[in-house]
Each structure stands twice: as C-alpha cells, then as structure tokens.
Structure 1
Amino acid sequence: MSETTPSGSTDAELAAQLAEVAGAILLEIRAEGLGIVDGRELGRRGDKAADAYILDRLAELRPDDAVLSEESADDRTRLEASRVWIIDPLDGSKEYGLPGHTDWAVHVALWERGQEITAAAVSQPTLGEVYSSGDSFADVPPNSPLRIVVSGSRPPAFTDDVAAELGAEVIPMGSAGAKAMAVVRGDVDAYLHAGGQWEWDSAAPVGVAAAAGLHCSRIDGSPLRYNESHPYLPDLVICRPELAETILSAIAKHSNESAVSGRVAMAREYVNALLTHDATKVRFAPDAWRVENGERTGDTGAFISDELENGQQYRGIIAIRELTLREWGESVVARYLLDLGTPGQPPAVTVFVTEYFGIPAGEIQSILAIIEPHPNDEETQ
C-alpha cells in the first residue's frame, strides 16, 4: 500500500519527484562541465550530486526506510528492513559524459518485503520525461519488423542468433533505464541483457515496465528478486507480454551464458581495471585495504580506486591472460598471468598473480595479492 508524506505524496509520486529533480541537477552539471572535464570525471560529479540530493530527501521524507544506492556504501541493515529504496542516481554515466547522448537516466525504486518493487520512477532528463509506476500507460502497436534493444558496449552473446530467429532488428543503446523506457514507449519491442548488472540498474526500470503491463523476468524466465544479500542481478528480459514465450524460448535455444555470482563479477571488474585504468564499475568498501607481497599498498577504497586509474605502477600492464576465478563463502581467488611492457610489442616481463578478495557484501573489503616471476612462454615448452 502506498504511504503518504506530510506533503501528501505517495511512494510513486515521491519516486517521480526525486528522479525529476535529480535529473535537473544532472542537466545543470552537464551543461557546466561538458567539454571542460573528461567524461568519466563529469559522470562522477553528476553521480555524487544526484546521490546526495536523493539520500537527503529520503532521510527527510522516509526516515525509517533503508536505502541501497550504487554510489553509497552497502548498509547491511537493509536486509532486515521492510522497505528499501533502490537507487541509481546516474545510470549511463559514460553516455552522460558524451556530447549529444540522451541515453542516460535516473532510477528511483521502492522494494517492500513480500511484494518486491512497489513504486518506481525513471527520469530521462535530456528528453524531458519522467516515467512512473503511478502513470497510466497507453497501448502501443508492435513494430514491424520487431525491434530489440541491447547494451551498446556489452550485448548478450546470443543477440544475433535470437534476432535472426525472430526476424528482429537490433538497436544498441546505453543505460538500462533508457532501454527499458524505449520498450515502455513502444519504440522497441524487447530489451535483452546478459553478462552482468546490479539491482540498481534494473529495479526502477522493471518497476515502471511492470506497471505498464510488460513482461519482466530473468533470461531463464525466473522472477527478478531484489534486496538480496549480494545485489548482483546479471540478466533480464523486458518485452511485450505476447512476445515473452517466443523470446524466452529463443534465448534458451541459443544462450550458453554461464552465470557468475556478484562476488566473482566484482573481482573480475577489479582485474579488468588493472588493464583499462577505469575503476568506475569497481565497488570498494570505504575502509578497504590491499596488501601486495606483504606490503600494504592501500588503506581506503578511494585510494585503491584512484591508484587503479592513475597509479604509474599499473601503466606498463599490456595484457592479462589465463584468468580464473573461484568463489567460496565471502571470498574469491583470482589467478592470472600479467604481461608488462610496451603496447604492440612482445611483453618484457610476465608475472603470475594470485589475488584473494574479501567481498562480504556488494563491495570489495580486502585484497591480498601474491606476485611471482613467471618463465617466458618459450622457456616452458
């Protein structure tokens, strides 16, 4: 049941208000910073400002509710709460930092125990639109041919096979919210994703899409569950309800996706960041620490994140090979070969790395790395 504030807002109305104002804040920051600072830094500025606004308003208007936000530390008390707001203050931060892009959004959703998502809003500020689970939605005709939207950077491996079987056109796009709202508007007929997402990526889009009468599920047809111990939710299907059975059958036929846990996914993002120098998708606990070969090399999450992006010791990494990841309990161990040298040239040095990650919740708490010399490939043959 919707709860009202002293101002008379229902949960759905509050979600829409928060998403709209946060979107206005993001537009202002973007107008001031686009072209002046690099896109990644601009996204961080926007994320921080929008997150602070939403958290402040929720603390004022829903003080007894818990919050799970992409930009805030994971407070585990949410697991005992009956009401949890799940927010992504800026979904599509990469697109936000690029001129001319409209495919970024603000997500605000409310999870209630026993009911899943009960109120949600997605704002697309550059379009001047806010979509809410409290809205009335008109029926829209299907496209001919069918149109499927997928991630522009990480489309599912089965995309081409599924599209061929359905005779569908594939459209790449950023932001989960933007893709889901394209289905709500009828611009496309389905949104398919596999390979990694978090609860804040899909909670609000799913809440709005479900209110619009669309089918929403995992790619195997199972329900989407939120406020879980580890907030990793790697795949989803949002589509016109009459297409659900056909699309799910096609995915089952063509998908060979191997599901990984949130802990494994987070450890993999850290290893990838060593090579890309982009730690945007790596979540650290505020007091995270790192030890490499017995030497303390990080005492806070912010420091480790900055080192991944700007530390000169990582600039010589040219390849990461033979990566394996294993999980047990709250820990993940990664083993891989790391090549050092000059891009485009054979590696000057190869080392063998074993890293132990402590990931009790949705953030990396600790990293213990052992780095050993490794013979050149030709010497091992």
Structure 2
Amino acid sequence: MSTDAELAADLATRAGELLLDLRARELGDTPLDKAAAKELGRRGDKAANALLLEALAAARPLDAVLSEESADDAARLDNERVWIIDPLDGSREYGLAGRSDWAVHVALWERGAGITAAAVAQPARGEVYVSGAARAVSSERERPRILVSDSRPPGFVDALARRVGGTVESMGSAGAKAMAVLRGDADAYVHAGGQWEWDSAAPVGVALAAGLHCSRIDGTPLRYNEAHPYLPDLLICRRDLAVPLLAGIAEETGGPTDSPRVAMAREYIESLVTHDASKVRLARQCHRYENGQRTGNSGDEIRSMLETGGQYRPISGVRDLEFREWGSDVVARFLLDMTTGRDSLTVAITEHFAIPSAEIEAITAIIEPCP
C-alpha cells in the first residue's frame, strides 16, 4: 500500500490531469467571457472533487474528508484521520487563458500530529510538490518579494513592505503563492482576507516540511480539523523573515478580526454588491425569508439569485454594517443603497443568519424604509 504522502501526490496529480483536459477542451484559442470562465471553474471544481472523493473512499475507506466542494460532516471531528482537500484552488484563474496560478490541494490531518502528509499540484506548470520531498530554495533577493491575493490583498501590506524594504505582487491561488515561496520565486506570502482550512492545509503541510515558517499573522499556530473550518489568515515565509514580518504586522494591525460565523455572514452581505457568491457557504437545504415571504428554497437557488437575480442588480452599496453574534446565530444590521437610472433608494435591513456549523442554513431578512 502506498504511503499517505504518495497517495496525496497521486491524487493531486490525477485531479490536475483531469482539470487540464477539461480546460483544454473548453478554453481553446478564444478567451471565455466572465460568466463562462466562472462556470468552467465550477465544473472543474465538481469534477475534481468527485475524482478525489471516489479515490479516497477506495484507498482510505475509514478516513474522513473535509472538502470545499462537499457539505461538512461533523463526524470528521471524531475521526483520527481527516483528508482536507481543495479540488481546484484558484477557480477564477483556471477559467482564464494563459494563467498557471491555480492548484490542487490534498492534505492529511491526524489527531495529535496535525498535517502529516500533503501535496500541491500546479498542473499548468507540470509540477507536484509533496511533503517530505520538496525543499525550500533560498533567496538572495535584497528586497523581499511579498505575495498577496489577487482579489483580497491585506490592507496593511504596503506599509508592511515598506517596513522590511520589500515589494508587493499579487497572484492567484493560495497553493500557487505558497509554492512560489518554496521555489524561491518569492520570499513571503501574507493573507488576511479570509480563508478556509482547505485553502491552506496542503500548502502549509508542504511548506512546513520544506523548512519554511508557517503561522497565523499573529504568530500563533495554524490549526486544522476544527469544528468550524474558517481559518482567515496566514503567513508563509523564509525563516529569517518571520520575526520582522510578524513584528511589522503586529504594528500595522491590532483591531479585532471577524469570528468564523460573522465572516460567513459578511461574505453573504458583500455578495449583494459584488454579485459574486463563490465564497458564500450555503447549506444545500438553506432557505431564505424576506418580510415573511419565502424567497429562496435551496443554497444553489439563493447563490444563483445573488449572482444573476434582477432584484439584486440595482444594489449599489452597503453602509453602517454592524454584527451581533450569540451561539450559532448572527444578526447583521445595515443600510442598503439601490440605484436605478437617476433614482436612488435606501432601505434599512436586519438580516438573521442561522449558522450551526460550517454553512449558513437559514436567512431571515426584515426590510424597512430608511428613517
């Protein structure tokens, strides 16, 4: 039987090959429009997820799985071994011609030991990085190159770069950024815009085994297979940069961060304006009520309405957003601005989210005229 690291590498490779084949068939020589690119990413996610779940069930039938593309099963919390997978990290980049900064993540968490085996595949580069086999390449760069998210760079990163005399560049996929640091193409990867365990488990497993520093941005350890798999920030860097970067981050930050449930509610509210619900975690059976009337019967329906529903298109902004959390409930109160032509309207909204675990299961909205 193959070792866990060998299995992780094999699965990441096979999922990557599947994704390359699908991408080659769909992309061709003509760039896709935004909607088609997003749909390609979703199809790739689902296809790679199916492959990984089937292969894990066959190879390690007693192990649990935590996947971005599957409903969370609380039974994983009692299992000694949990595979944490992201079938397609960087689905936006995957749908864009010429982009190689997307990846497949496969990691194994074991109780009492953390991440014990991991693989990150970058199929468009023809590379697979495996814990215990990959080694970090040292950098002789005078000005540290700091990588951040394409879509959600930390607000403090420019000030941080000035503190350490570095430069800032953006890149897609957490796995792609982490492996760029491992290769010596960059010196640090800093993120503070919200992530999930599957975004970082495999990259961190590979990077730690290769000798890099990996932690939360406050220096505390990255913990996996938690009851709520929200893991909002991380720092992966050369070991000699860890102290100055952590010190700089501490100086530039200091405000409280969102709890996991508040972060999930915030993602939903932000999608009202952006019409991008790809990061909104909705249970399959999620329902929504608005002023007493049912306006959503499933997670897929609600997500589709957020992205394409005509009722959301006039929304131009969210203001005065406040959250209150108790137990598994989150209430958001905010003002919502809507604009149609020359006409504008502001309404006051109270939105209740029921979040018993890792997905929003119910949403109840009260919409009132703005006083």
Normalising to structure 2: TM-score of the pair? 0.96
Give unpaired runs (5+ residues) of structure 1: 1-7, 376-381
Q: Alignment partner for residue 162 of structure 2, among 153, 161, 164?
A: 164
Residues 266 and 282 in structure 1, CA contact (< 8 A), matched pair in contact too: yes
CA RMSD of aligned residues (A): 1.3
Distance 1:85 1:116, change over 3 A: same
1:19 aligns with 2:12: yes
Paired AA for residue 181 in structure 2: V
SS at 2:340 equivalent:
coil
**Does the C-alpha gap of structure 1 residues 138 and 310 become closer, same or farther in structure 2, counting only changes over 3 Å?**
closer
Partner of 2:68 in structure 1?
A: 70
- Cα deviation for residue 144 of structure 1 reads 2.1
Per the TM alignment, residue 141 of structure 1 is displaced from its structure 2 partner at its CA by 3.3
Mapped to 1, the partners of 2:159 and 2:115 lie a distance apart of 32
Which one is further off, 365-374 or 150-159?
A: 150-159
- State whether residues 275 and 318 of structure 1, in contact with CA within 8 Å, keep that contact through their aligned partners in structure 2: yes
Measure the CA separation in 2 of the matches of 1:72 and 1:294.
Answer: 30
- Does structure 1 residue 33 correspond to structure 2 residue 37? no
1:371 aligned partner, one-letter code? I
310, 313, 335: which one aligns with 2:311: 313
| Aligned residue-pair number | 366
Using the alignment, how far apart are the partners of 1:138 and 1:356 within structure 2?
A: 46
Give the equivalent residue in structure 1 for 2:100.
Answer: 102
Are the structure 2 counterparts of residues 280 and 139 from structure 1 closer, same or farther at C-alpha, using a change threshold of 3 Å?
closer
Aligned residue number for residue 357 of structure 2: 361
Superposition deviation, residue 140 in structure 1: 2.5
C-alpha displacement of 1:256: 3.7
2:204 alignment partner in structure 1: 206
> What is the aligned partner in structure 1 of residue 286 from structure 2?
288
With 275-284 and 252-261 compared, the bigger mean Cα shift is at 252-261
Residues 201-238 of structure 1, C-alpha deviations (whole Å, 9 max, x = no match): 10000000001011111111110000111111111111
Report what 1:5 is aligned to: none
Q: 1:379: which partner in 2?
A: none
- Secondary structure, in 3 states, of the residue corresponding to 1:341? strand
Instruction: Please point out which of 336, 339, 359 is paired with 1:338.
Output: 336
Structure 1 residue 195 displacement after superposition: 2.3
Structure-2 change in CA distance of 1:139 and 1:305 (3 Å): closer
Residue pairs, 1:159-238, within 5 angstroms? 159-238=157-236
- Quote the residue 2:124 is aligned against: 126
Give 1:242-281 correspondences, 5 Å limit.
242-281=240-279
In the aligned structure 2, how far is the partner of 1:265 from the partner of 1:245?
28
Aligned partners of 1:368 and 1:139: how far apart in 2?
Answer: 51
- Matched to 1:224, the amino acid is L
- Could you tell me whether the CA contact under 8 Å between 2:136 and 2:207 is conserved in 1? no
Change (3 A) 1:124 1:257: farther
Contact 1:92 1:175 in 2 (8 A): yes
SS at match of 1:339: strand
Query: How far apart are residue 138 of structure 1 and its match?
Result: 5.7
Structure 2: state its 5+ residue gaps.
none
CA distance in 1, matches of 2:264, 2:65: 21
1:350 counterpart = 2:343: no
The residue aligned with 1:88 is: 86
Provide the rounded CA distance (Å) in 1 between the counterparts of 2:113 and 2:233. 20
**Percent identical:** 63
- Residues 259/152 of structure 1: CA separation in 2 closer, same or farther (3 Å cut): same
Which of 296, 299, 308 pairs up with 2:297? 299
- CA distance in structure 1 between the partners assigned to 2:290 and 2:137 by the alignment: 58
Give the conservation status (yes or no) of the 8 Å contact 2:137–2:183.
no
Deviation, 1:323, is 1.3
Matched residue SS, 2:9: helix
Letter in 2 for 1:372: E
Q: CA deviation at 1:139?
A: 4.3
Aligned residue among 140, 143, 146 for 2:141: 143
Q: CA deviation at 1:239?
A: 0.8
3-state secondary structure, aligned to 1:247: helix
After superposition, the C-alpha distances for 1:70-100 in whole angstroms (9 at most, x for unaligned) are 0100001111111011011111111111111
Are the equivalent residues in 2 in contact too, given 1:317–1:341 (CA < 8 A)?
yes
CA distance in 1, matches of 2:106, 2:13: 10
Residue 55 of structure 2 aligns with which residue?
57
8 Å contact kept, 1:142–1:189: no
Partner of 1:38, secondary structure, is helix
Is this contact kept in 2: 1:67–1:85, CA < 8 A? yes
On the 8 A contact 2:329/2:355 being kept in 1, the answer is: yes
Q: Is the 8 A contact 2:136 2:211 kept in 1?
A: no
